[in-house]
Structure 1
Amino acid sequence: MALLVLVVLAVAGGATLFLWAGKQVRHVDALADYAGRPAAGKGTNWLLIGSDSRGRLTPEQRRELHVGNDVVQNTDTIMVLHSGEHGPYLVSLPRDSYVSVPGHGRQKVNAAFAEGGPKLLTRTVEQATGLRIDRYAEVSFLGFVQVVDAVGGVRLCPETPLRDTRSGADFRAGCQRMDGTQALAYVRARYADPKGDLGRVKRQRQLLGAVADETLAPAVCLDPFRLRTVLTAALSALTVDDRSGMAALTGMGWSMKEIAGGGGTATTVPVANPGVMAGGAGEVLLWDEQGAKRLFDALRNDDPIPTSGNN
């Protein structure tokens, strides 16, 4: 999901295209001060999310993805991208993480987005991690599909067959090319995965690398017409906080490119128990509190992060 913003990297090669792209960026009020907000740390922290609002999906896409006609506000993907002297680091926060949502008690972290949109989700993540979120970027369901299709699909290599009737995933083991709808079904699958939400976040990072490969390929970057098509799709898929523009997006894109190329580190918040039943919330995921604290303390101080068994 989040690596879709890599397409903005190409605009750095042309001032006219850069200026044009800057006018296409959409903004949302996602960051706010409040009593007890974490102090700013070293480096920059982005909150990257994949929104599963379905309002603009076609009937065919709804059928393929096995989603209804309701217009929901939810998120399947939540990641914190940290860049500074060390890293960059990309930390996945599983959507089933059981945390305190301000004003709503303990719930799954993705409930914050459903209850109060970007502002409440940002505040929830800040309170749960102790990190000040400096930037926010959101990619929509439909936008995700359009960007993958714009680059001509992506090559993904499931290690085992994956079939999930709830997401629409039905893939054999081995490398295969997926269009946007198929790739979205692939990363949304979790009910048929014995690792549940943890398996899904790993597939999200697999897709991250695949989109990077396609977006930065010469066939896209050296073809002005195709490049503009990809840029149009990517920028229409993106919504960022009020203070973020093309310069910030380009910097974030370079960090994501480095991670996809193996130069940074992608991990998942340490988990103590991935399958606990909580009243009113269903099956939730509990963080390893000490491990999570060590991870987020390192990010706040811009130190090398500890290794995690959930990578």
Structure 2
Amino acid sequence: MKKKTKWKIAALSVLVIGVSASGWAYWSLDPSRHFENQDIPVLAQPQTAEAAAPVQEPPKPDMKSFNILILGVDSRSGEPSRTDVMMAVHVVPTERKVNILSLPRDTRVPVKGVGLTKLNHAHIVGESKGGNQQGTLVATQTVSDFLGVPINYYAKTNFEGFKRIVDKVGGVDLTLEKDLHLKWQKTTIPKGQQHFDGDTALKVVRERYGAEGGEFGRQEEQSQVLRSIAIELLKPDKIPQLATLLPSLRKDILDTNFSDSDLISLAWLFKGVGNDNFRYTQLPGHSGREEDPLVGSNLYYWIPDSESVKKIKEDLF
């Protein structure tokens, strides 16, 4: 009888510890609390005269917000790395607000020491001077200068890493509004709800010509895939695997200053954000051709509309 009582006490102790641990994890990792207790880093501040701080309402005293730069790098062996995907993300954890601004890789922006060139050249400029980390820093500073906002966090992955991330979360669900023609694969993905593995998801986010709206259609699909990954990570059957998934996910993310607990909290936030609190915007502007000082030839550019960009900064950041 005593033996049975001891087992009951032991089982009850384990249950209490488990419940307490779950409660602590919920309390500490909930996005509305987690980032409030962090010292938010500042990786880049606007350094150009043109990049004046955006006009916005004063933040609440107890509210922290931060900006993330997401970089998808087109890295090939022996070649400099261009940023094929760039997104600036503004997050207000206490209000569960996420604003995403897609930055076309061909955007004409000033890069320090070069002049007006393509946004995706910024990483090459830095990498040529100091390797991968310097590439990140120059790209981060360039976006900070262009938008006139600080950049607090970054996450950078290459295409092989992206494929592995998607496969590790079991693929992603994506709704296509229209048929998507993959020009280079000479195939068509029908409209509607689709489930993609890593290889197919990569083809979708890289497709520029078959997507409805071309480059801008591709940017919207990229933001949908990003949110889908977060949702997959936090499905009930995935949560117990998160602790073991994180080390391998970090191998697939080339570079990030997020901690493991930051990443879990951020994924939690993305999953919990509804359509009313999730805003996606593309960079206004027009197509044009200009002489590029880096390559010394006439190139295609996306030339941003400065007044519209200022308005976006005020609304989103």
TM-score w.r.t. the length of structure 1 is 0.70
Q: Give the counterpart of 1:266 among 276, 279, 286.
A: 279
Asked if structure 1 preserves the Cα contact closer than 8 Å seen for 2:231 and 2:267, the reply is no
Within the alignment, does 1:294 sit opposite 2:306 as a pair? Answer: no
CA distance in 2: counterparts of 1:144 and 1:31, whole angstroms: 24
CA distance in 2: counterparts of 1:168 and 1:126, whole angstroms: 39
- For the residue of structure 2 that corresponds to 1:202, the secondary structure is helix
Asked if structure 1 preserves the Cα contact closer than 8 Å seen for 2:173 and 2:196, the reply is yes
Identity of aligned residues (%): 31
Within the alignment, does 1:78 sit opposite 2:83 as a pair? Answer: no
Match of 2:15 in 1: none
Match of 2:252 in 1: 237
- The structure with the largest alpha-carbon Rg is 2
Within the alignment, does 1:48 sit opposite 2:70 as a pair? Answer: yes
The residue correspondences of 1:217-228 to structure 2 (distance < 5 A) are 217-221=235-239, 224=240, 226-228=241-243
Asked if structure 2 preserves the Cα contact closer than 8 Å seen for 1:164 and 1:189, the reply is yes
Q: 1:164 to 1:144 in 2, by over 3 A?
A: same
Aligned length: 256
Within the alignment, does 1:108 sit opposite 2:118 as a pair? Answer: yes
The Cα shift of 1:267 comes to 2.0
Asked if structure 1 preserves the Cα contact closer than 8 Å seen for 2:103 and 2:283, the reply is no
The residue correspondences of 1:1-311 to structure 2 (distance < 5 A) are 13=25, 31=43, 36=48, 43-55=65-77, 71-84=79-92, 87-116=97-126, 117-166=135-184, 170-193=188-211, 195-221=213-239, 224=240, 226-228=241-243, 230-241=245-256, 244-259=258-273, 261-273=274-286, 275-279=287-291, 280=297, 282-300=299-317
Q: 1:257 to 1:263 in 2, by over 3 A?
A: farther
Q: CA RMSD in A?
A: 3.2
CA distance in 2: counterparts of 1:50 and 1:236, whole angstroms: 15
Asked if structure 1 preserves the Cα contact closer than 8 Å seen for 2:100 and 2:279, the reply is yes
Q: 1:169 to 1:138 in 2, by over 3 A?
A: farther
Q: 1:35 to 1:50 in 2, by over 3 A?
A: closer
The Cα shift of 1:250 comes to 4.0
Structure with higher RCO (Cα < 8 A, 6+ apart): 1
The Cα shift of 1:160 comes to 2.3
Stretches of structure 2 that go unaligned for 5 or more consecutive residues are 1-21, 27-41, 60-64, 127-134, 292-296
Report the residue type matching 1:106 in the other structure: L
The Cα shift of 1:130 comes to 0.5
Report the residue type matching 1:230 in the other structure: L
The Cα shift of 1:144 comes to 1.1
Asked if structure 1 preserves the Cα contact closer than 8 Å seen for 2:101 and 2:283, the reply is no
Asked if structure 2 preserves the Cα contact closer than 8 Å seen for 1:155 and 1:177, the reply is yes
- For the residue of structure 2 that corresponds to 1:257, the secondary structure is helix
The Cα shift of 1:32 comes to 5.7
Asked if structure 1 preserves the Cα contact closer than 8 Å seen for 2:73 and 2:159, the reply is yes
Asked if structure 1 preserves the Cα contact closer than 8 Å seen for 2:155 and 2:253, the reply is yes
Asked if structure 1 preserves the Cα contact closer than 8 Å seen for 2:234 and 2:271, the reply is no
Asked if structure 1 preserves the Cα contact closer than 8 Å seen for 2:67 and 2:153, the reply is yes
The Cα shift of 1:262 comes to 2.4
Stretches of structure 1 that go unaligned for 5 or more consecutive residues are 1-9, 15-29, 56-69, 301-311
The Cα shift of 1:36 comes to 4.6
The Cα shift of 1:95 comes to 1.5
CA distance in 1: counterparts of 2:187 and 2:122, whole angstroms: 27
Report the residue type matching 2:252 in the other structure: A
